[in-house]
Amino acid sequence: MKPSDGGGGDYINSSPDTGGIGNSKTWFSYEELHAASNGFAAQNILGAGGFGCVYRGCLQDGTEVAIKKLKDNSGQGDREFKAEVEIISRVHHRYLVSLVGYCITDFQRLLVYEFVANGTLHYHLHNSNKPFMPWSLRVRVACGSAKGIAYLHEDCHPRIIHRDIKTANILIDNNFDAKVADFGLAKIAQELECNTHVSTRVMGTFGYMAPEYASSGKLTEKSDVFSFGVVLLEIITGRKPVDETRPLGDESLVEWARPLMTEALDNQNFDELADPRLQGNYDRGEMFRMIEAAAACVRHSAVKRPKMSQVVRALDTMNELSDISNGMKPGQSGIYDSREQSAQIRMFQRMAFGSQEFSSEQNNSHSSRSSGGRSGIARGRSGQV
């Protein structure tokens, strides 16, 4: 693989003083990527979107890559490109797609990613010409993608909000490990250190956007959590987030699933929610935990949603008796009773509700209720979330 030497007016050298992102990434010439993709041939297209197309390519050393080529003269695409280069250069994680290199010319912007050979989660769940995805692989992909998003939110420096979590942006390798992709819409969350939320122009995909983000542009990590909850519902049900072929009122996956999740968690009958193609072939404890996690993630109230690290812990301990629901049923909120909880659960509560709400609710709490044998975290008042 021969990087460009930066010669000629069309190419920018990758040194830091000319706008590169450092020596850890490879700068490609446009000619190299043109050749790698066989002239950006139509048969090499892996996907397309508002930004342009992604092509399969093969570098001179035989490395297979995915080349993201922005549409010409696309102002939005240029912004997405700059955000992606800035962000992906900082990200290194097993469950996130890696940036191999990039190219900026006077007339083109391209990103070069590792090639993930086994398609997207959307493809495996919704392609009618492919055998349905078995439950064990669905759980594996859910756990891996949750870890990738949790890394972006909590372990990346600076922290990152993805803004477009969806099954089409979760790639699957040959070992059926998930890799979260497409950071073109991502937002570096530096402002979150001082502010409750970041206000930004609304971007993302209909059916996955959190209600507060879609309506007001208020962006926090909890916006991604909602989107991941929709992904979990897709994994559980096999349904798309919006399906206009469904009966009136059932087009939205989240709204259709809300009452069914309540019922399933109450009576542990999962028949109405589970993908019928599974024919009951799933672990009931895992199904319970997946539904519980999905219900917590898609709460109306952002502050009541768990952090992604909590979702990871819940999915990593599928058969243990911890309760990501915080003792709340879908459609309910609750308040905290410290007398019944361990130090670890108190920390869970602070992370879930924020210190101000946590303190006021702790002081005002006068009653508690149990939660069906699980370790309930929230207690008391009920109301729509």
Amino acid, single-letter form, for residue 239: R
3-class state of residue 102 by DSSP: strand
State the DSSP H helix or E strand holding residue 87, giving kind and residue range, or none if neither.
helix 75-88
Q: Residues 155, 164, 243, 337: which is the catalytic one? A: 164
CB crowding 10-26: b at 16 or more within 10 Å, else e: ebbebeeeeebbeeebb
| Annotation says 323 is catalytic | no
Q: What is the DSSP letter of 109?
A: E
Q: What is the DSSP letter of 151?
A: I
**Among 350, 346, 351, 354, which residue's Cα sits nearest to residue 375?**
346
**Among 336, 308, 302, which residue's Cα sits nearest to residue 324?**
308
Which segments are annotated as binding site for ATP?
69
Q: What is the DSSP letter of 94?
A: T
CA atoms within 13 A on the CB side of 208: 20
**Strand-strand pairing, 335-336 and 378-379:** antiparallel
Tally of helices (H runs) and strands (E runs) in the chain: 11, 14
Q: How many C-beta atoms surround the C-beta of residue 180 within 10 A?
A: 25
Catalytic residues: 164
